[in-house]
Amino acid sequence: MNDAPYPVIRLRPKAESRALRHGFPWVYSDELVTDRRTRALAPGTLARLEDAERRVLGLVALNPASRIIARMLDRDPDAVIDAAWFAARLERAQALRTRLYDTPFYRLVHAEADGLPGVVIDRFGDAVVIQPNAAWAEAHVEALAEAVVAVTGAEVLVKNGTGRARGLEGLAEETVLLQGVLDRPVPVSMNGATYMADLLGGQKTGLFYDQRPNHAFAARLAKGARVLDVFSHVGGFALAALAGGAEYALSVDGSAPALALAQGGAQAMGMSDRFATRQGDAFDVMAALADEGASFDLVVCDPPAFAPNRAALEAGLRAYERVARLAAGLVAPGGYLGLCSCSHAADLSRFRAASARGIGKAGRRGQILYTGFAGPDHPVLPQLAESGYLKALFFRLAP
């Protein structure tokens, strides 16, 4: 039992508790009784959640400042959230990843799907990056860090406190080296390619592991091909294509530091002579390449989330359509086009329709060869659609 009983919070009479009982992990602000006492609780406070009939549902983390006002942590309302509690969840998560991968490069914790709401942890060998994107995780980051080191044996530990999710939780942005020394990018081997991950200054945790299976499929199309990788970041699809035997690959991104890391990856692979970069706005660069008469056997576009929420959905779908139209015009006759979306608000059906419209507006026709998602180190919680966000479509375009 917990020595200091947790405060009790309660669902409104009309709030539906069935979803919570069946595994849905969130309570929205309009579902909870928010009296003066509840509003006074600090973000990250742990509390016992009851339904309107005072039946206990479990232990939750409360944030009165967030639309997601409570996140389910444990069905045991008296659970103690300490290093041992974190270690038990981390051990279960790591057991899955070590079964899936032969190398220690993977997403170790995928938030709610791994029982740690709002927490993302990526492993880079002996270095680990923690993203505490919810107020409760920020409040318990020391215990979380202790457990990460105990379970993984990490020598380097980084807290990456950046991103939109933290802003929604009322958390400040900061990146902190919690343990060890890190003075250079970390080389990551994946699908035969080498990626250089900047764990302190890079985007998100430094590398996107979610695209691993889609990189592998693209590499199968790349042998002997001229490849264009748009929104390339650190060379995701381009370097995988080179590892798959591409004749040449061009990475396009708006970030000069990201492209420098991509160049470093190509150099580490001994393939600098077949690799080039072009910095600039992706839409502008694709239009310029078209004006130059450029043509590629494989074009892949992996843009940021154009539709991060429902309010942005229509504008986001128009952006995905525009990407497809510009990219399709750069594909050689009989070549291949890969289009990706990491917007959970744009489901597969809508993303596929937007992509098809763009290809059609470019005067091209295509057949879908492959539909991909995030790798299995990004498991999906069936009750939470947001945990399955990534879609990848590969088309073969008609001559």
* Closest of 58, 59, 29, 64 to residue 46, by C-alpha: 59
Instruction: Tell me: pLDDT of 39 over 90.
Output: yes
What is the pLDDT, as a whole number, of residue 283?
A: 98
Residue 32 DSSP one-character state: B
Examine domains 8-74 and 194-397 and report if their fold is the same. no
Instruction: Specify the CATH superfamily of domain 83-179.
Output: RNA methyltransferase domain (HRMD) like (3.30.750.80)
Across the chain, what does the average pLDDT equal? 96
Over residues 296-313, the mean pLDDT reads 95
User: What phi-psi label fits residue 180: left (phi over 0), alpha (psi between -120 and 50 degrees) or beta?
Assistant: left
* pLDDT per position as a tens digit, 123-150: 999 999 999 999 999 999 999 999 999 9
For 149-155, which contacts have Cβ atoms below 8 Å and span 24 or more sequence positions?
149/179, 150/83, 150/87, 151/87, 151/90, 151/91, 151/94, 152/90, 152/94, 152/104, 152/108, 152/123, 152/128, 153/126, 154/123, 154/126, 154/127, 154/128, 154/179, 154/180, 155/126, 155/127, 155/179, 155/180
Domain ranges of the chain: 8-74, 83-179, 194-397
Over residues 87-105, the mean pLDDT reads 97
What is the pLDDT, as a whole number, of residue 202?
A: 83
What is the pLDDT, as a whole number, of residue 1?
A: 42
Q: What is the DSSP string of 127-141?
A: EEEEEE-SHHHHHTH
Instruction: Tell me: pLDDT of 337 over 60.
Output: yes
What is the pLDDT, as a whole number, of residue 203?
A: 82
What is the pLDDT, as a whole number, of residue 15?
A: 86
What is the pLDDT, as a whole number, of residue 4?
A: 56
Over residues 263-292, the mean pLDDT reads 98
* pLDDT per position as a tens digit, 229-272: 999 999 999 999 999 999 999 999 999 999 999 999 999 999 99
Architecture label for domain 194-397: 3-Layer(aba) Sandwich (3.40)
What is the pLDDT, as a whole number, of residue 218?
A: 98
Instruction: Tell me: pLDDT of 45 over 50.
Output: yes
Instruction: Tell me: pLDDT of 186 over 80.
Output: yes
* CATH number 3.40.50.300 is the correct assignment for the domain at 8-74: no
What is the pLDDT, as a whole number, of residue 3?
A: 53
Which of 242, 300, 342, 374 is an active site residue?
A: 342
Instruction: Name the more confident of 102 and 16.
Output: 102
What is the pLDDT, as a whole number, of residue 397?
A: 98
342 is catalytic: yes
CA distance 258 to 144: 29
